[in-house]
Amino acid sequence: MNRKQFLQQVTTFIRSKPAQQHVEKELNGHIQHAKKAWMDKGYEEAQAEALAIEHMGNPMTLGQELGKVHKPKVDWLMIGLVAMLLACSFLPLIAVAPYSLFGEGMLLWRHAIYTCLAVIIIVCFMLFDVRKLMTRNFIFYVIAILFALLLYSTHMIQGTRFFFIGSWKVSVWHTLPLLCIAWAILFSNSKVKLWKALLFVSISFIVIGITGNIASLLVFSVMSLIMLLNGHFEKKQKIAMIIGVFTAIIAFIAWIVVSIWNGGIRLYQLERVLGFLKPEEYADGSGWIYLRVNEVIANAKWFGAGGAEGTFIESSTDFAFLQLLKYYGYFIGIIVAILLLVLIMRMWKLSVNQPHSFAKLLVVGASTLFATQALYALAMSAGLAPIMSIPMPFMTYGLTPTVTNAFLIGLVLSVYRRKSYIFSA
């Protein structure tokens, strides 16, 4: 049996074509190494190759064992956690309109459609070979920036720029997953210098900042920093980045203090800050919403409905978690929080155990995007963070947050599915 026949018999038992290529390359290397060792002992080339193949073992047995090892994997724990979160996401909507099929009840039908779409996206991207993204260079970055620049030509709503594709409202938030992919490609490339990476990040920061979407700017900043720190750059460069970030934060806080002291900050901006810090003193203005948050938390029961009468403002969107506490109690709220935290830890564990730089950065970026949303939304719902439009993954109603987070989960599952034969060290 020659080498080609041996490899063909072995790979017959492996279903995945990428896995077949990986195994064939690996076995070919072993055979070549063993062949050289036999030739060093004085055997002819043909004899040496025959002995090397013979010592590899029975090709059928070897193929069956490798087929089990390199079988595409499915992270059922992650899928189960997502499924439970999607199921729980209906609870705030049911609390608002449990019986109506129209009016507010239409939210249930729409959310059911969004949920089905999320499942389809997760499955499709899980089956998608993410290696194909590695060859696209900066295409995702270019698309994301162009996407953001389009925002300047159309609508301005509450200080944030949007444009519409039919009835679909598009914001800079949609560019974040594309930037996540772009950073994974960029920061895993050893030929890219740190200054160039920081230049791209800075340009993106400015573009997103100009749109006026503070929530997107916050999530983007956290994602970019974490991905930079996990990139191929030297340790001393990463330490310098951390020092630079802390310096910038301190300088920003000092600038705010000086602006307040000198009257350089606008009155409504100052009231927003003070409304969070001292809600009782601004109960008729920006502090009202924080008082309502504290009221819901204080009056919630462990089981069943509690809290103030009436529907909480934006109960189906930014405050879906508070709606859970109000109508279903702390028990359900804690379960949802645990599901989110376990899902975050599961995603982060995959990134830690991933040796390949591109795959690692892709999972790091996706998990950071997901975790930043979840943790900030939980802190905001607990009254521990200023209120801004950051969705709680798979709990907040709406097409954009549901589809975006489904896309992130799909990318992570795609890496997990192929980690044994594509992204091995």
Q: What is the pLDDT of residues 139-177, one digit of tens each?
A: 666 666 666 666 665 665 555 566 666 666 667 788 888
Angle between helices 399-417 and 330-352 (to 10 degrees): 40
Q: Are residues 215 and 336 in the same domain?
A: yes
Q: Are residues 21 and 99 in the same domain?
A: no
Q: Out of 27, 43, 69, pick the residue that ends a domain.
A: 69
The whole-number pLDDT of residue 260 equals 56
- Residue 153 domain-assigned (yes or no): yes
Dihedral angle sign, alpha carbons of residues 77, 81, 82, 86: positive
Q: Are residues 181 and 323 in the same domain?
A: yes
The whole-number pLDDT of residue 57 equals 74
State pLDDT tens for residues 245-266. Answer: 888 778 766 766 666 556 555 5
- Residue 309 domain-assigned (yes or no): yes
The whole-number pLDDT of residue 100 equals 46
Q: Out of 52, 69, 86, pick the residue that ends a domain.
A: 69
pLDDT beyond 90 at 372? yes
Query: Which pair of structure tokens corresponds to residue 399?
Result: 């097409």
Per-residue DSSP letters for 235-290? Answer: HHHHHHHHHHHHHHHHHHHHHHHHHHHHT-S-HHHHHHHHHHH-GGGGTTTTTHHH
The whole-number pLDDT of residue 355 equals 66
Mean pLDDT of 223-237: 87
- Residue 269 domain-assigned (yes or no): no
- Residue 286 domain-assigned (yes or no): no
Range in 27-31, 347-351, 400-404 the model is least confident about: 27-31
Q: Are residues 143 and 111 in the same domain?
A: yes
- Residue 380 domain-assigned (yes or no): yes
Domain count for the chain: 2
Say if CB 315 and CB 95 are below 8 A apart: yes
Angle between helices 320-328 and 357-381 (to 10 degrees): 50
The whole-number pLDDT of residue 410 equals 92
Say if CB 252 and CB 244 are below 8 A apart: no
Model confidence at 339, pLDDT cuts 50, 70, 90, reads very high
Q: Are residues 84 and 133 in the same domain?
A: yes
Q: Are residues 154 and 185 in the same domain?
A: yes
Q: Are residues 207 and 59 in the same domain?
A: no
Average pLDDT, the chain: 77
The whole-number pLDDT of residue 13 equals 66
Q: Out of 30, 48, 69, pick the residue that ends a domain.
A: 69
3-state secondary structure 164-175: EECCEEECHHHH
The b-or-e profile of 315-347 (16+ CB within 10 A means b, else e) is bbbbbbbbbbbbbbbbebbeebbebbeebbebb
The whole-number pLDDT of residue 121 equals 94
Model confidence at 74, pLDDT cuts 50, 70, 90, reads confident
User: Using CA atoms, how far apart are residues 344 and 8, in angstroms rounded to an integer?
Assistant: 41
Say if CB 380 and CB 386 are below 8 A apart: yes
Model confidence at 369, pLDDT cuts 50, 70, 90, reads very high
Q: Are residues 121 and 9 in the same domain?
A: no
Q: Are residues 41 and 84 in the same domain?
A: no
Q: Are residues 304 and 200 in the same domain?
A: yes
In degrees and rounded to multiples of 5, residue 231 shows phi and psi of -75, -175
Say if CB 50 and CB 31 are below 8 A apart: no
Nearest to 115 by CA among 89, 81, 79, 77: 89
- Residue 243 domain-assigned (yes or no): no
User: Using CA atoms, how far apart are residues 219 and 228, in angstroms rounded to an integer?
Assistant: 14
- Residue 267 domain-assigned (yes or no): no
Percent of the chain at pLDDT > 70 equals 71
The whole-number pLDDT of residue 315 equals 47
The whole-number pLDDT of residue 244 equals 81
Q: Are residues 52 and 164 in the same domain?
A: no
- Residue 264 domain-assigned (yes or no): no
Q: Residue 379: which domain range?
A: 76-233+300-417
Q: Are residues 112 and 206 in the same domain?
A: yes
User: Using CA atoms, how far apart are residues 170 and 4, in angstroms rounded to an integer?
Assistant: 53
